[in-house]
Structure 1
Amino acid sequence: MEQHSATYADPTYANVSRRPDAPIETLTELEKTVRHIVSETSVIDIHTHLYAADFEERLLWGVDQLLVYHYLTAEYFRQGELSYDEFWSLDDAGRADKVWQALFVDRMPVSEAASGVVTALNRLGLSPSVYGRDLDAYRAAWAGKTAAAQVDDVLATARVKSLVMTNDPFDPVERAVWLEGSGCTDTRFQAALRIDKLLLDPSSAAVELRNLGYDVPTDDPSAFFQEETLVEVRRFLRDWCTRIGALYIMASLPGDIQYPVEGDALTALLDGAVVPVCRELGLPLALMVGVRRQVNPALRLAGDMSMQADLGLLERLCLRYPELQLLVTVLARENQHELAVLARKFRNLTIFGCWWFLHTESMIREMTSFRTELLGTSYIPQHSDCRVLEQLVNKWDHSRSVITGVLYNKYARLHQDRWLVSENDIRRDIEHYFGGVFQQVLSRAKKGRG
């Protein structure tokens, strides 16, 4: 089937007269049914960098934010004429102008990041056939919209019923929203507690914990091996998970992390604080493994790189804590098959999504195909990783198109062998993919509490 076609519901599907539990007899009907159900089924997006409107400037939205997103700024420096310093001296609108000219006017926007902007604009009612290549026309069309209204429009268009934010208690601006404001009042936005600083820079984390009222020594490198300190770290994690209503605790880690290591602070913190709090509160631990930070600092947020990971970290966590539910994604393509095989060996490890540099159409297709072949429907095929609100539209549209193709091919193989599929069968599988697996992981974590 055509992999690049849009995933919008097929209008001819409404003309199909068939009971939902009846076997689908033809491949044409099968393809239409898969496309329709994938398109219309709402999803839980289990990992984003988005925020509810309560967080004000933390919520990034609008055409300028789409254009200054770090994927596109990295691409700009391959095509544009400005130096790093010249580019960064501009405000967001100025940078957006440069990106638009270099990537959308001077050449066709064929990269995943650039074509995604076009998809988002078109699906949100700003058709390029009307607005052309005039950036100011798109800005004018957005003028007057409120963040709250845009959230409603985008979530409806992307068919995202809820999403999980990334909530960092070490970020003073975000922390103030939880401590001094109303927190998050939009129930479609769920929280996850991010603890990178605690695990990767415990000395700096200790200073912040101390300032927040936790009795953590700031001048003793061995503090995190002492039970008195770990008690306070557990209290911090427990307080913040409760305060924000965290669905899971998470960290993004470099690929060369080793675990367990005698005399290592990360090992001490995982074993002495993070895992105990996950077990106590009944929360999964989400690990995103394989990032190498700031390979090119001049690119700022765009300067990070991928690296192959030692997945022994995951294997040993699964063996040591079989009751701990692990949500895992890794960044290097070279790790993907090993991760899928590892997930076959440990029921407490659930793979999610195609992360960061792997969130491209060809990689999503490859990974979704072999994950389905190895794991059936027992993994979470996608998360958006969005930083800009409108990206929900293009990232889920593009992913739905690929997922449609992969599932159709699997069902067509069954059809060939006369294991006929019904609409109910397809709907059950898609609902499992688009939220059911995640809810199952959350439920297992609660059952493993203790």
Structure 2
Amino acid sequence: MSELCRITDRETLERQVRRIVADTPVVDLHTHLYDAGFGDLMLWGPDEMLTYHYLISELLRAERGRTSPAQFYAMSRREQADLIWQRLFLDASPISEACRGPLTVFHALGLDVSNRSLDELRGYFADRDPEEYTDHVLQTAGVTDVVMTNDPLDPHEVQMWEDGVVHDIRFHAGLRLDAIICQWAQSQPKLAAQGYDVTPDFSGRSAEEVMRFLRYWREKMDPLYMAVSLPDDFRYPADSLQTRIVEQAILPLADQDELPLALMIGVIRAVNPPLLLAGDGMGISDVRSVERMCEAWPSVRFLVTMLAQENQHGLCVAARKFPNLMPFGCWWFVNNPSLIERITRMRTEMLGLGFIPQHSDARILDQLIYKWSHFREILAEVLVDKYADLMRTGWQITAEEIQRDVSGLCSGNFWQFVS
């Protein structure tokens, strides 16, 4: 190792790590984004950011009955954004992570938030071209590729795919299975109406037909993986309809077609139904079920994230035992700086560099800017400490080695796992 390559002091180490983490491109492996080719499915701009469901739940808590969920959802998008801006940004300091996010975006775009005028902020976005703005956001966020969430039973989206939507090649499909696995009672009639021989109790040729349906959509969408958000009480094996669908159709398809399966586990839907999307909660899930799937299907690649912080250590232990299990991201309720740092430190200590530290879960294009900006700060802090630990043992580290490691965390681990 050349003397010039060695990093010998913490100040140099911090400078190099922060530079490399800031400059290394990211692949965002799970989002709810759409590019401009999908028309009105693409969400962007201040009103969309401010009416993100994280902020809706904060608002309705702050309202304490002044505005009911029904009254809020009856408002126009602009009226909703105005109310959230007033209550969460002007009537109190916007210190929550969900409030901080839009402010980070505005600042990164060179906008002045000091006068606190939402109308002036809106003016910046009024005449933006969606495709040009997409380029600007991806460049600002340092993101090269994103994976969408594509539901083959959503009629609006389905029509776009059937019409041959031409979309941005940086936006990759993710074949979403929630409607198949978690809402079979509603999905079975839709599949039957399309000519698939499926039954309400998932008997007969149902498994074969679901596989045929999903293969049609794999050909149409060319997804990088299949994905499902599972409830906290999902168990494998189990004699439940959900588990039978997974066991008889989804896992065989993943195995036969060599298509990775992303499992996002731990949501409890509609703990407060009037809040709609903002009303979902979380529960502690069963890591042993993940282990049993990995054991029973060793050739299936599982990307797994779990919603409860109580599950994070168990997931790391499971990943040490099963090379076909890749932990990824800090999802939803653990996507907060204090928890991200804790989880990322634990993963580096237990898995080294063998995980995917983050995904944005963004629903609005602009969110890529703040979700990745905030995460990069945390990743740099963790890596500085870990490399400093190495240096104290006499191990010598170079900027080239740091770049290799960070590139793996930000994109390489994902591409290697799904390829």
Question: TM-score, normalized by length of structure 1?
Answer: 0.90
1:283 aligns with 2:265: no
CA distance in 1 between counterparts of 2:144 and 2:229 reads 25
Alpha-carbon deviations, 1:298-329, whole Å to 9, x = none?
A: 21110000100012220110110011100000
Alignment of 1:172-211 (within 5 A): 172-180=155-163, 182-211=164-193
Deviations 1:135-172 (A, max 9, x none): 00001111111211211111000000000000001111
Aligned to 1:31: 14
Q: How far does residue 419 in structure 1 lie from its aligned partner after superposition?
A: 0.7
Q: Does 1:109 align with 2:94?
A: yes
User: Hey, what's the Cα distance between the residues in 2 that align with 1:416 and 1:127?
Assistant: 44
- 1:274 is matched with 250
Q: Mind listing any 5+ residue stretches in structure 1 that lack a counterpart?
A: 1-17, 444-450
Aligned-residue offset at 1:386: 0.3
**For 2:4 and 2:36, how far apart are their aligned partners in 1?**
42
| More deviation, 43-52/19-28 | 19-28
Q: Is 1:52 paired with 2:35?
A: yes
Which residue identity does 1:225 align to in structure 2?
S
Say whether residues 1:118 and 2:103 are aligned partners: yes
Which deviates the most, 76-85 or 201-210?
76-85
1:265 CA displacement: 2.6
Equivalent pair of 2:152/2:217 in contact (CA under 8 Å):
yes
Instruction: Answer whether contact 1:84 1:298 (CA < 8 A) is retained.
Output: yes
In the alignment, which of 138, 153, 156 is matched to residue 155 of structure 1?
138
Q: Counterpart in 1 of 2:211? A: 234
User: Does residue 241 of structure 2 align to residue 265 of structure 1?
Assistant: yes
In 2, Cα distance between the equivalents of 1:140 and 1:87?
A: 24
CA contact under 8 A between 1:225 and 1:268: conserved in structure 2? no
Q: Quick check: 1:128 aligned with 2:113?
A: yes
Q: CA RMSD in A?
A: 1.5
Range moving further from structure 2, 340-349 or 78-87: 78-87
- d(CA) in 2 for partners of 1:76, 1:338: 34
1:256 match: 233
| Aligned match of 1:351 | 327
Say if 2:57 and 2:278, in contact at 8 Å, map to a contact too.
yes
Partner of 1:339: 315
Q: Where does residue 84 of structure 1 map in the other structure? A: 69
What is the rounded CA distance, in whole Å, between the counterparts of 2:75 and 2:103 in structure 1?
24
**Mapped partners of 2:295, 2:355: distance in 1:** 19
> Equivalents in 2 of 1:184, 1:197: separation in Å?
25
Q: Once the 2 structures are TM-superposed, how far is the Cα of residue 19 of structure 1 from its aligned partner?
A: 7.9
Q: Kindly report structure 1 stretches of 4+ aligned residues shifted beyond 4 Å.
A: 18-21
CA distance in 2, matches of 1:419, 1:205: 57
- Which of the numbers 194, 197, 205 marks the counterpart of 1:215? 197
Give the total of aligned pairs.
Answer: 417
The whole-number CA distance in structure 2 between the counterparts of 1:45 and 1:210 is 35
| Deviation of 1:43 (Å) | 0.3
- SS of corresponding position for 1:38: helix
Verify the 8 A CA contact 1:20 1:424 in the aligned structure 2. Answer: no
Would the aligned equivalents of 2:301 and 2:325 in 1 still touch at CA under 8 Å? yes
Q: Report the Cα offset of residue 365 of structure 1.
A: 0.3
Q: Is the 8 A contact 1:329 1:354 kept in 2?
A: yes
d(CA) in 1 for partners of 2:121 and 2:152? Answer: 36
The answer to whether the Cα contact below 8 Å between 1:21 and 1:423 also exists between their aligned partners in 2 is no
**Contact 1:20/1:422, CA 8 A, preserved across alignment:** no
Alignment partners' CA distance in 2, 1:27 and 1:163: 34
Residue 268 (structure 1) shift: 2.6
CA gap 1:295/1:429 in 2 versus in 1, 3 angstroms: same
- Picking from 60, 64, 70, the partner of 2:53 is 70
Matched ranges for 1:241-390 at <5 A: 241-262=218-239, 264-390=240-366
Q: How has the CA–CA distance of structure 1 residues 258 and 423 changed in structure 2, closer, same or farther, with 3 Å as cutoff?
A: same
Residues 265-304 of structure 1 deviation map (CA, whole Å, 9 limit, x = unaligned): 3233222211122122221110000000001112111000
CA distance in 1, matches of 2:167, 2:382: 37
| Counterparts of 2:134 and 2:320, CA distance in 1 | 38
Deviations 1:164-210 (A, max 9, x none): 00000111111111012x32421100001111121122232211112
Query: Which amino acid letter does the alignment assign opposite residue 61 of structure 2?
Result: R
Counterpart amino acid of 2:203? F
- What are the ranges of 5 or more consecutive residues in structure 2 without an aligned counterpart? none
Label 1:200 to 1:124 Cα distance change in 2 as closer, same or farther (>3 A): same
Q: Distance in 2 between matches of 1:258 and 1:179?
A: 35
- SS in structure 1 of the partner of residue 5 of structure 2: coil
How many angstroms apart in 2 are the aligned matches of 1:138 and 1:116?
Answer: 15
Q: CA deviation at 1:20?
A: 11
* Corresponding position of 1:12: none
Match of 1:96 among 81, 90, 112: 81
> What are the superposed Cα offsets for residues 360-406 of structure 1, whole Å, 9 maximum, x if unpaired?
00000000000110000000000000011111000000000000000
